[in-house]
A and B are shown apart, each in its own frame.
Chain A
């Protein structure tokens, strides 16, 4: 299999411009002859659907939600990066590029990251033109905040609801095209299979979640923008219904999965409160602009935080990373929290938390300013915990938040299946082994508004794509496979619910494939997951039937896919014998507990293909070598 990134050669500053000039175009009047399927209506999917429809393509958009506006992107809080340098603090495309490559611990592709940094500015322009109400200062101009891993202020935001406002912008652009008849919108539809004909992606099989009907849809190209797979851990900050199935179905059909083990654990989330816990809630990284993270100096100090004086507190991020302080990147900050808790200095009832304290910021700026900046986050915290964060520090703990891995794509965002393109969190492209805050929204919108509209045309113009009819054998076969899979699941009346299996998988993943990993634990995880998967095949209990609205059946299919993905994540983590970004192998660390990379052997992305026809899940590992010509490979330090 070919893992050529198709990145342009030559000076990186002009790569994207040259590439756009070099690739083939589809004549404006020919665009309407092409049907494009877009799975997902989050930032990546909605922006792609809208833009492709504006260009004249016939777009069919799919989402399992009842409305495009409910995609998980809606929950993004803190902000979106761009290299505008409105603050005149020395920002530039080059600096954003550099920060992102370094933030990703030198495990991303330079060409993609440079392009991302370049288009970042146009994203902000586009969003403002749509009416996105970003925060402004009293002069009426846009204002910024800082996010981790950067020493400039480049994050645009709309209070703690940036994702909501950006998604509503993309959604409205999309609905404008629905209004014009250029987008056919299919809500409450779940993609269950990818249909390939002559090894090209030509359609999808979906389940109508209301009626249970299995439907086929054809197209000249398929775009997946189905989000990340953090919910393999059961507990994560992702929305409850986020899942890996669209990716996994494509993976089983031949699309390579890259760097599955790169998982982001976010340092500031509300800790678990009980066994019934259904999800975890993020407290945005933006809070670290004003909040200070600490634990008591002395582990026997169990007093109320207000009674602990400054001298008796350990502001450990400020101590260990004096130049980045509380704004150390996520992987680093999470690991440090874990170390403090392992030392026995955790706080709160469960002692599995550290403090995030706004006392000093409130004294300095007043409660109103803090409310203005983070009002909805403080309110969210208070609702969940019953505690008032204006009066006492928040208790926070790391939680699974984002997955940097995803389907492998080249510079054109095309997967290893011709015609199948992957956008947003679903692909692996830009963040390497760790994503910096406020750059997922940037990447989703870059992919959808600016990259795919250019590169998709190249695919369509350079392939001869005969029309296919839904009566083609491949569609019928796919429908048959989906129906069989669902009825097989329903027919076995076991004794354990889907949620029970999912929780169990989550515990294995968190224990062995979570914040820190080692060879022995990873091997244990693989065996345990295989066993759980086998048990699942016989013991899962799903009520109801397939020809009807059936939530449990929907979850069951998703969990079946998670049960394979979990194993692949452990396998990837086992094979990557180094620490980098969010992937921390205990065997490979520096004397002071920082990640120790091995550039000799692992300066590559690992891409896995699913071995077909073996009757069980197994994979072949491939490598895409990473070259660093513009940023010097160096040890990542935030000290």
Chain B
């Protein structure tokens, strides 16, 4: 297939950046989107140009590295699919595809399509854990956890930290990410002890990083490649309000 690309190029954080046009004549429908980008990069290098920089690693939809806004949608047109899992069969021969980076104040561009998501790590450091040092654990079967509870916690824990939720939100809010983490631990007995403090601190860090407010449009969950549910946000809000009351 023939594919026309309009790709965001930006030399560094200070550069203004612009879209650049490229055409690839020989794209196979079996290729993944990133393999198509590889083909573009090989071509650029051979022609003496700088290849397009983008984050990627596992190429299986689990590490959360890949992060492209494709035709306006974070991770492209397919539901529950990361950029690396998207295949060219999802596009038409002759189609023009727009490729851009995540855009959010808290995710500054490093180069081209690569952004800095270290704000997520700082949120995690602000309480996204159970305080149990190695060696202190009781037998794993000492407490039974109802299967449904555990499954629910698992579903929140499958967040890959890619940031598509932020990229999809008109306010660049990180509520879905933070609430997924909070919910995972809040649902489990192990996480109960610190749940109020954890929620407060993680929310405070999120605000400090410059993420926007949540206005409940739900575009985050719709864009999430792991289908993290909006209920997480409601659960966190309840917990947050509860923790405010508790600490006042």
Contacts and interface: CB of A to CB of B under 8 A. Distances in A.
Interface of A: 47, 50-51, 54, 65-70, 72, 74-75, 84, 86, 122, 124-131, 133-142, 158-159, 161, 163-165, 168, 171-173, 175-176, 178-179, 185, 187, 210, 239-241, 273-274, 276-279, 281, 379-380, 383-384, 386, 449-450, 453, 497, 499-500, 541, 543-544, 548-549, 551-552
In the complex, the 3 A-B pairs of residues with the closest C-beta atoms, listed nearest first: A140-B144, A129-B137, A172-B129
Given A136-B147, A175-B128, A75 B60 contact: yes
Interface in B132-163: 132-141, 144-147, 150-151, 153-154, 157-158, 160-161
Interface string B187-216: 010110000000000000000000000000
B98 interface: no
Interface string B71-109: 000000000110001010100000000000000000000
Given A175-B125, A497-B42, A544-B50, A131 B87 contact: no
5 contacts: A51-B134, A66-B55, A74-B62, A122-B135, A136-B146
Given A65-B65, A74-B63, A175-B128, A136 B145 contact: yes
A450 B134 contact: yes
Contacts of B243: none
Given A66-B116, A126-B137, 9 more contacts: A67-B121, A70-B58, A75-B58, A124-B140, A126-B135, A133-B151, A133-B184, A168-B157, A278-B34
Contacts of A142: 140-141
B92 to A, nearest CB: 16
Contacts of A241: 57
Nearest to A383: B85
A138 B147 contact: yes
Interface residues of B, number: 77
B153 A133 contact: yes
Interface of B: 12, 28, 30-32, 34-35, 38-39, 42, 44-46, 48-51, 53, 55-65, 80-81, 85, 87, 89, 110-111, 114, 116-118, 120-121, 124-141, 144-147, 150-151, 153-154, 157-158, 160-161, 184-185, 188, 190-191
B141 A75 contact: no
A128 B61 CA distance: 25
B202 to A, nearest CB: 11
B191 A172 contact: no
A73 to B, nearest CB: 10
B118 A128 contact: no
Contacts of B48: 543
A276 B137 contact: no
A86 to B, nearest CB: 6
Contacts of B87: 383-384, 386
Given A278-B59, A497-B42, A380 B85 contact: yes
A125 B139 contact: yes
A70 B45 contact: no
Contacts of A551: 51, 53
Contacts of B49: 543
A541 B46 CA distance: 8
Contact of B129 (A70, A159, A173, A281): A173
Nearest to B61: A380
A274 B31 contact: yes
A297 B144 CA distance: 48
B8 to A, nearest CB: 15
A210 B110 contact: yes
B222 to A, nearest CB: 18
Contacts of B144: 136, 139-141
A453 B134 contact: yes
Contacts of A552: 45, 51
Nearest to B121: A67
B45 to A, nearest CB: 5
Given A129-B132, A278-B32, A67 B118 contact: yes
Contacts of A126: 132, 134-135, 137
A133 B140 contact: no
B45 A380 contact: no
A66 B154 contact: no
Contact of A131 (B110, B127, B130): B130
A140 B145 contact: yes
Contacts of B56: 240
Given A128-B140, A172-B124, A140 B188 contact: no
B190 A129 contact: yes
B206 to A, nearest CB: 15
B12 to A, nearest CB: 8
Contacts of A173: 129, 132, 134
Q: Which of B114, B120, B139 has the most CB of A within 10 A?
A: B139
A72 B81 contact: no
A586 to B, nearest CB: 33
Contacts of B191: 131
Contacts of B128: 172, 175
B38 A128 contact: no
B45 A54 contact: no
Nearest to B37: A278
Contacts of A168: 157
Contacts of A138: 147
Contact of A133 (B34, B63, B120, B157): B157
Contact of B118 (A125, A139, A159, A187): A187
